[in-house]
Amino acid sequence: MIEPPLIQLKRVTKVYGEGATALAALKGVDLTIRAGDFVAIMGPSGSGKSTAMNTLGCLDTPTTGEYLFNGVHVETLSRDQRARLRRRFLGFVFQGFNLLARTSAQENVELPLLYRGETAKTRHALATQALASVGLSGWEHHTPAELSGGQQQRVAIARAIVTEPAVLLADEPTGNLDTQRSKEIMELLWSLNVKHGITVLMVTHEADMAAYAKRIVHFVDGVVESDTLNPHPAGLHEAAVQRPMTPPATEVH
């Protein structure tokens, strides 16, 4: 039996402004993503890829069309309901790391758990585990200034996965890194996808980074121009492909 998609966009549009100044960023996007996918989203500046990512991350809402997350119509949710969905099911990684400068790696990773109201003991244990999973055991008490760019991005990834999200959204995650650090981060994302079943959606303009994905989706002028399977992902040699975990039922109240 084929499991239903984790994410579906159906004829999604996004228009900014009104009248003569209206700008259509998305012009009827259809996209299906299943649990365990690793999708690279590419396209030139102004193609709609960032708007699509913001929509998928519940940071923005469609003007028209449907967005289903695990069967729930996200476009009908209130702002608070979308925020709860983000906290429970989504993790975010950005190009600029977005770490608190005077705060340790441990405390940065604990932040999403603090928003959830977890106890200090639980926060400490989960953050320590998340940092270990990205290869930063022993670096818990270092501030961002004491870490390399690659290490800072690992802290950002640990912060994104500490809540055990179903989906990790990465926006140009290697944009501020050199070639070697970029490769390390991509191998880490591949490992999280393969070993932990986390669905990864990544915006990138770099073809060699997109090569790690299982699918490559190209946006042009607000529509999906192509959606192509990648039969030989670059990270395939890092780990054997495992069956993706079934995502938890989505309940937003």
Could you tell me if residue 46 is inside a domain?
A: yes
253 residues of the chain, pLDDT tens digit each: 677 899 999 999 999 998 889 999 999 999 999 999 999 999 999 999 999 999 999 999 999 999 999 999 999 999 999 999 998 999 999 888 889 999 999 999 999 999 888 999 999 999 999 999 999 999 999 999 999 999 999 999 999 999 999 999 999 999 888 899 899 999 999 999 998 899 999 999 999 999 999 999 999 999 999 999 999 998 765 544 444 444 445 556 5
Could you tell me if residue 250 is inside a domain?
A: no
Asked whether 212 and 185 are in contact (CB, 8 A), the reply is no
Could you tell me if residue 2 is inside a domain?
A: no
Could you tell me if residue 205 is inside a domain?
A: yes
Q: What's residue 121's pLDDT?
A: 95
Q: Is 42 helix (H, G, I), strand (E, B) or coil?
A: strand
Could you tell me if residue 248 is inside a domain?
A: no
What whole-number distance in Å separates Cα of residue 119 and Cα of residue 94?
A: 27
For residue 226, give the amino acid letter: S
Q: What's residue 243's pLDDT?
A: 42
Q: What's residue 242's pLDDT?
A: 42
Question: For the chain, give me the number of helices (H) and strands (E)?
Answer: 7, 10
Total domains present in the chain: 1
Could you tell me if residue 70 is inside a domain?
A: yes
Residue 111 belongs to domain with CATH number: 3.40.50.300
- The residue among 99, 212, 109 whose CA lies nearest residue 160 is 109
Residues contacting 13, CB < 8 A, separation 6+ = 24, 26, 27, 28, 29, 62, 63, 64, 65
Q: What's residue 3's pLDDT?
A: 78
**DSSP annotation of 60:** S
Q: What's residue 252's pLDDT?
A: 61
Q: Which domain holds residue 106?
A: 7-238
* DSSP element (H, E) containing 158: helix 149-161
76's tokens? 């009908």
Could you tell me if residue 195 is inside a domain?
A: yes
What whole-number distance in Å separates Cα of residue 62 and Cα of residue 218?
A: 19
Could you tell me if residue 149 is inside a domain?
A: yes
For residue 143, give the amino acid letter: T
Residues contacting 39, CB < 8 A, separation 6+ = 33, 200, 201, 202, 213, 214, 215, 216, 217
